[in-house]
Chain A
Amino acid sequence: MSHIRLENIVKTFRIARRRPGLWGAFHGVLRREYRTIKALDRVSFELERGELVGYIGPNGAGKSTTVKVLSGILVPDSGRCEIDGRVPWRDRIANAANIGVVFGQRTQLWWDLPVIESFDLLRDIYRVGSGDYARARDELAALMDLEPLYDVPVRQLSLGQRMRCDLAAALLHAPSVLFLDEPTIGLDAVSKLAVRGFIKRLNRERGVTVVLTTHDMDDIEALCDRVMVIGHGRILSDSTLDDLRARVTRERRLIIDLLDEDQTIADPDVSFVSRSGNRIHLQFDPDRVQTAALISRITAKYAIKDLFVENPPIEEIISRLYDEHELR
């Protein structure tokens, strides 16, 4: 049986439309006009226990709404949803005890309390036994080096420190599912790596099912085997990252550092993408020309300092997918 199952979830929001200007504001008092936004339009997917899935899409696509439905915060208009056989919004309290949630832009820690007191409070709120709690807390602290932060009030933490504490806070009650809504937003490179490393270990070693929404494609590349793309409230793609890439484009990038800045490269099998100084980005289709053949042809012809082949950045793949579905 799958761990999480969504079937045709629909969620609409009614938003008051305001006309611009003073007259508009006045008009709004007398008669409100509403427009309906379909945040989720028949969203369906299933996750197996222990999966780590990336959930991506442009702003306003419905990512956070999905997470909020799964965590029992929002009640959908129609459709079915179960986590471990429980309907999140009908069985909100039992479901809440079984899941962990991190909304990256907000903290669940008490702003004025030292970190350790927030943790203790969460122990009581989740009714975790003191033995289980101490074990979970110490493990999490060891993984993310939290102990030096215990006595610091949350408001004095850096964003990276806060996110590590927030991740731990979501896991003290040993949930079987973790929803991460943009956990790396605003973090510096080192903190991002720490957070990613932690999520990976959590998933591999403890088998926690993770749903990760993000705009950072490096998160996806580093962590997720499976990627779901959502746009306009619909799932546009649900596959492995490689399949997604292959489906959207077969192209490869050829990046060349020239010895001579004035030089250009012309070859029938490559097309020009961009140039900065003596670095040139080209692209080619590996179905039309063999990579090795292409490289030897070019190195024979031009004076080249360095050369490497890359997949197009995942950002571009996603951006093309959005274009296909007219998401801009």
Chain B
Amino acid sequence: MNPSFVLPYTAVLSARFRMLLQYRAAALAGFVTQIGWGAIRIMAMEAFYRSTTAPQPMNLEEVVTYVWLGQALLGLLPWNPDTEIRNMVRSGTVAYELVRPVNLYTYWFSRSLAFRIAPTLMRSIPLAMLALLFFGMQPPASPESLLVWLAATAGAVLLTTALTVILSITLMWTISGEGVAFLAAPIIYLLAGMVIPLPLFPEWAQFILEMLPFRGLCDAPFRLYMGHISVAEAWAVLLHQWIWIFILVGLGAWMLSRAKRRLVVQGG
């Protein structure tokens, strides 16, 4: 690809990234909260495992690793629209977005990519270190597991970004964005495996959970990491992710072209 073609997008990505890295206090607060929540979730899971005699699809040690991975990568979940785009839609500054000689979808995707990665990166590495050393999180099952987990995490990043852009585009209709975040967050948390690991869901729910895109955000990559899904089966996880990435990018681009046509810029 012509380097000047991608320049606007990489430029806005790296600028946003640098801006987000300034929020160190927020990162620290998130870090502390997520350790607390992780501990609570693990206590609940321990209580559950102690009171059951039936064999479970995951042992407690695996669940602990699953929970800590989830806590470390919490910020990656598409639980809210891009705050920068929300502010622009509210203030009407979004008009400037449309006078840039760029493809608006790609431009917003680049912004949201930074918005998802930067805060997560700041929190996840120290949190994972701590959990590995002190809180019973296990290292990857094998070097191969580590590799397929990395590949699936890359897929999860694109998936979450595609979903975040869709959430951001809904702002063009709803303006505030709070309602959307309110609806989206609990549903996505549940269906991604952030509340209860997906393998612990009842049998009848498994098919639905397998089909939906959300398992590609947390559940599937986590299970690749711990070898709960074998390296040989990794291709199915990646294929599932990439099919959904294509669908959601297509959907987002279509929504944005519709939104542009009905756009009423606030004020002025």
Contact = CB atoms under 8 A, between A and B. Distances in A.
Given A13-B264, A106-B93, A112-B22, A124 B100 contact: no
Given A106-B92, A127-B101, A113 B267 contact: no
Taking residues whose C-beta sits less than 8 angstroms from the other chain, chain A's interface range is 20 to 34
Contacts of A68: 95, 265, 268
A296 B65 CA distance: 99
Contacts of A103: 92, 95-96, 268
Contact of A181 (B10, B15, B93, B268): B268
Interface in B84-108: 91-93, 95-96, 98-103
Nearest to A92: B98
Interface residues of B, number: 27
Contacts of B264: 13
A94 B268 CA distance: 25
B201 to A, nearest CB: 35
Contacts of A113: 15, 19
Contacts of A208: none
A106 B96 contact: yes
B7 A124 contact: yes
B263 A124 contact: no
A257 interface: no
Interface string B1-43: 0001001101110010001001000000000000000000000
Contacts of A107: 93
Interface string A77-107: 0000000000000001110110101010111
In this complex, the member of B8, B12, B22 whose beta carbon has the largest number of chain A beta carbons within 10 angstroms is B8
Contacts of B19: 110, 112-113
Contact of A72 (B4, B11, B96, B99): B99
B261 interface: yes
Contacts of A94: 101
A17 to B, nearest CB: 15
A324 B93 CA distance: 35
Interface in A91-138: 92-94, 96-97, 99, 101, 103, 105-108, 110, 112-113, 117, 121, 124-127
A249 interface: no
Contacts, number: 77
A12 to B, nearest CB: 11
Contacts of A101: 95-96, 99
Contacts of A97: 101
Contacts of B101: 93-94, 96-97, 125-127
A282 interface: no
A71 B4 contact: no
Nearest to A73: B98
Contact of A127 (B4, B12, B93): B4
Contacts of B263: 73-74
In this complex, the member of B22, B103, B267, B268 whose beta carbon has the largest number of chain A beta carbons within 10 angstroms is B268
Given A112-B22, A124-B11, A106 B102 contact: no
Contact of B268 (A64, A110, A117, A125): A64
28 contacts: A72-B99, A73-B99, A74-B263, A96-B100, A96-B101, A96-B102, A99-B99, A101-B96, A101-B99, A103-B95, A103-B96, A105-B92, A105-B267, A105-B268, A106-B91, A106-B92, A107-B93, A113-B15, A113-B19, A124-B7, A124-B10, A124-B11, A124-B12, A125-B8, A125-B11, A125-B12, A127-B8, A127-B101
Interface of A: 13, 64, 68, 71-75, 92-94, 96-97, 99, 101, 103, 105-108, 110, 112-113, 117, 121, 124-127, 181
